[in-house]
Amino acid sequence: MTDDLFSLSGRVCMITGASSGLGRRIAICLAEAGAVVVLTGRRQALLKEVEKAIADIGGQAHSYTLDVNNRTAVQQIIDTIEEQVGPIWCLVNNSGVVVMNRPENFSEEQYDDVLDTNLKAPFHLCQVVGRKMIARHDGGRIINMASIGAQTELEGGITYCMSKAALVTMTKCLAVEWARYGIHVNAISPGYIETEMTSQYYGSEQGQKTIAGWPGKRIGKPKDLDGIILLLASSASEFMNGSIVSVDDAQPLGFFGNSRQIS
End-to-end CA distance of the chain: 42
Report the SS3 class of residue 214: coil
Residues 110-139, buried b or exposed e (16+ Cβ, 10 A)?
Answer: ebebbbebbbbbbbbbbebbbebbbeeeee
User: Which residues are 137's β-sheet partners?
Assistant: none
Distance CA 57, CA 244 (A): 31
**Backbone dihedral region of 137: left (phi > 0), alpha (psi from -120 to 50 degrees) or beta?**
left
Catalytic residue among 111, 160, 181, 202: 160
Burial 225-259 (b: 16+ CB within 10 A, else e): bbebbbbbbbeebeeebbbbbbbbbebbeebeeeb
Distance in angstroms (rounded) separating the CA atoms of residues 5 and 231:
9
H or E element, residue 83 = helix 71-84
Task: Answer yes or no: 111 catalytic.
Answer: no
Query: What type of residue is 68?
Result: V
Beta strands in the chain (DSSP E): 12-15, 36-41, 60-65, 88-93, 140-145, 183-190, 244-247
Active site residues: 160
